Structure 1
Amino acid sequence: MSLRIAVCGIHIESSTFSPHLSGTADFDVTRGQALLDRYDWLGDPWAAEVEWVPLVHARALPGGAVEPAAYDAWREEIVQGLADGPFDGVLLDFHGAMSVVGREDAEGDLITAIRGVIGPEPMVSAAMDLHGNVSPTLFAGCDLLTCYRTAPHVDVWETRERAARNLVEALRRGERPHKTLVHVPVLLPGEMTSTRVEPARSLYARIPDVEARPGVIDAAIWIGFAWADEPRCTGAVVATGTDAAAAEQAARELGQAFWDARDDFAFVAPTGSMDECLDAALKEGAARPYFISDSGDNPGAGGADDVTFALERMLARPEIRDGSVRAVYASLFDPEAVAAVGHLPVGAPVSVRAGGRVDARDPGPLLLEGSLEAIADDPDGGRVVSVRIGGLSVFLTSRRMQYRLLESYRLLGVEVSSVDVVTVKIGYLEPELYEAAADWMLALTPGGVDQDLHRLPYRNLKRPIFPLDEDAALTFDPR
Structure 2
Amino acid sequence: MRIAIGGFMHESNTFAPLPTDLSRFRDGSLTYGDAVIPSWQEAHHEIGGFIEGGRRFGFTPVPVAMAWATPAGPVSDEFFDHFTDALVTGFRLARAQGVLLALHGAMVTPRHPDADTEVLRRVRAALGPSVPLVVTLDFHANVSPQMAEAADALVGYQTYPHVDQRQRGVAAAELVARAVGKAVRPVCHVAKPPMLLNLLGQDTAREPMAGLMRMARAMEQQPGVLSVSLMAGFPYADVPEMGASVIVVADGDRTRAKAAADELANAMWAVRERLNVPCPAPEEAVRQALACTHLPALLIDLGDNIGGGSAGDGTVLLAELLKQRAKGFVVTLHAPSAVAQAKDAGVGGRVEVKVGGSTGALHGPPLTVRGTVRSLHEGRWVEVEPRHGGKRQNDQGHTAVIDLADGNLLVVNTLRTPPFSLGQLTSLGIDPKHVRVIVLKAAVAYKAAYAPIGGTIIEVDTPGLTAINAARFEYKHIKRPMYPLDAS
TM-score, structure 1 length as denominator? 0.91
Of 190, 208, 220, 1:181 maps to: 190
Paired with 1:280 and 1:145, the residues of 2 have a C-alpha distance of: 43
Alignment pair present for 1:364 and 2:365: yes
Aligned to 2:23: 25
Which residue in the other structure is 2:234 paired with? 225
**What is aligned with 1:280?**
288
CA distance in 1, matches of 2:192, 2:53: 35
Opposite residue 405 of structure 2, the aligned amino acid is G
Q: Please tell me whether residue 384 in structure 1 is matched to residue 399 in structure 2.
A: yes
* Selected match of 1:140 from 140, 146, 149: 149
TM-superposed deviation, 1:88:
2.6
1:257 is matched with which residue? 267
State the superposition RMSD in angstroms.
Answer: 1.9
CA contact (8 A) 1:334 1:357 kept: no
The question of whether the paired residues in 2 share the 8 Å contact of 1:9 and 1:56 is answered with yes
Q: Does residue 451 of structure 1 match 2:456?
A: no
Q: For residue 436 of structure 1, give the secondary structure of its aligned residue in structure 2.
A: coil
Q: How much does 1:290 deviate?
A: 0.8
User: Cα deviation per residue 1:147-199 (whole Å; 9 max; x = unaligned)?
Assistant: 11111111010011111211111221166423222111111122212111101
Poorly superposed stretches of 4+, deviation over 3 Å: 40-49
* 1:18/1:449 contact within 8 Å kept: no
Residue 421 (str. 1) matches residue 413 (str. 2): no
1:60-99 to structure 2, matched below 5 A, reads 60-99=69-108
CA–CA distance in 2 between the matches of 1:246 and 1:174? 18
- In structure 2, relative to structure 1, the CA distance for the partners of 1:95 and 1:72 (3 Å cut) is same
How far does the alpha carbon of each residue in 1:9-54 deviate from its partner, in whole angstroms, 9 at most, with x for none? 2112111111222222222112333323422664667755423221
Partner of 1:476: none
What SS class does the counterpart of residue 76 from structure 1 fall into? helix
Relative to structure 1, the CA distance from residue 229 to residue 9 in structure 2 (aligned partners, 3 Å threshold; closer, same or farther) is: same
Relative to structure 1, is the Cα distance of residues 419 and 45 closer, same or farther in structure 2, using a 3 angstrom cutoff?
A: closer
Tell me how far apart the structure 2 counterparts of residues 196 and 42 of structure 1 sit (CA, whole Å).
Answer: 28
Offset, 1:367: 1.4
Q: Distance in 2 between matches of 1:150 and 1:43?
A: 20
Instruction: Tell me the TM-score normalised to structure 2 length.
Output: 0.89
Structure 1: state its 5+ residue gaps.
472-479
> What is the DSSP-based 3-state SS (H/G/I as helix, E as strand, rest coil) of the residue aligned with 2:457?
strand
- Does the 8 A contact of 1:8 with 1:91 survive in 2? yes
Quote how far apart the aligned CAs of 1:430 are.
2.0
Q: Per-residue displacement from partner, 1:280-312 (whole Å, max 9, x unpaired)?
A: 1112x5322111011111111111112222222
1:10 to 8, 11, 35: 8
Letter in 2 for 1:351: E
Q: Which moved more, 1:401-410 or 1:272-281?
A: 401-410
Alignment of 1:403-442 (within 5 A): 403-428=419-444, 429-442=446-459
2:311/2:358 contact within 8 Å kept: no
Aligned to 1:475: none
Residue by residue over 1:440-461, the C-alpha shift from the partner in whole angstroms, topping out at 9 and shown as x without a partner, is 2111111111111011111001
1:204 and 1:426 map into 2 onto residues whose CA distance is 22
Moved more, 302-311 or 215-224: 302-311
Decide whether the 8 Å contact of 1:62 with 1:300 is kept in 2. yes
Secondary structure at the counterpart of residue 206 of structure 1: helix
44 and 402 in structure 1: CA distance in 2 versus 1, 3 angstrom threshold: closer
- Tell me how far apart the structure 1 counterparts of residues 182 and 236 of structure 2 sit (CA, whole Å): 40
Match of 2:250 among 234, 241, 250: 241
Matches within 5 A, 1:466-477: 466-471=483-488
Q: Tell me which amino acid in the other structure corresponds to 2:245.
A: A
SS at match of 1:271: coil
Say whether the 8 Å CA contact 1:66–1:100 is kept in structure 2. Answer: yes
Q: Deviations over 1:194-223 (max 9, x none)?
A: 111101101011222211111111111111
Answer yes or no: is the 8 Å Cα contact 1:18–1:359 preserved in 2: no
Larger CA deviation: 34-43 vs 51-60: 34-43
Q: What secondary structure sits across from 1:306 in the alignment? A: coil
Equivalent residue number for residue 176 of structure 2: 167
Partner of 1:184: helix, strand, or coil?
coil
Cα distance change, pair 343–440 in 1 and its aligned pair in 2 (3 A): same
Code of the aligned partner of 1:297: D
- The 1:90/1:280 distance shift into structure 2, 3 A limit, reads same
Cα 1:194/1:340, change in 2 over 3 Å: same
8 Å CA contact retained: 2:230, 2:247: yes
Aligned to 1:474: none
Determine the C-alpha separation between the residues in 1 that align with 2:450 and 2:72. 22
Match of residue 312 from structure 1: 319
Q: Is the 8 A contact 1:42 1:48 kept in 2?
A: no
Relative to structure 2, which stretch is displaced further, 216-225 or 246-255?
Answer: 246-255
Confirm or deny: 8 A CA contact 2:302 2:462 kept in the other structure: yes
Counterpart selection for 1:399 from 415, 428, 443: 415
Q: How much does 1:76 deviate?
A: 1.3
* Superimposed CA distance per residue, residues 265-289 of structure 1 (whole angstroms, 9 cap, x where no aligned partner): 143xx72111111111112x53221
Q: Find the counterpart in structure 1 of residue 389 from structure 2.
A: none
| Percentage of identical aligned residues | 29
SS at match of 1:300: helix
In 2, distance between residues paired with 1:147 and 1:44?
A: 16
Distance across 2 between alignment mates of 1:106 and 1:230: 11
Cα distance in 2 for partners of 1:294, 1:378 equals 22
Looking at structure 1, the residues matched to 249 and 263 of structure 2 have their Cα atoms a distance apart, in angstroms, of 13
Amino acid at match of 2:8: I
How many angstroms apart in 1 are the aligned matches of 2:246 and 2:50? 27
Candidates 300, 305, 310, aligned match of 1:293: 300
Residue identity in the other structure for 1:341 = A
Deviation at residue 419 of structure 1 after TM alignment: 1.5
Q: In 2, Cα distance between the equivalents of 1:49 and 1:362?
A: 51
Cα separation, 1, equivalents of 2:312 and 2:424 = 16
| Cα distance in 2 between the residues matched to 1:170 and 1:140 | 16
Describe the shift of the 1:41–1:55 C-alpha distance in structure 2 as closer, same or farther (beyond 3 A).
closer
Task: Give distance in 1, aligned partners of 2:166 and 2:431.
Answer: 29
Structure 2 counterpart of 1:154: 163
Aligned pair count?
460
Distance 1:36 1:334 in 2: 33
Q: Residue 299 of structure 1 contacts residue 426 of structure 1 at CA under 8 Å; is this kept in 2?
A: yes
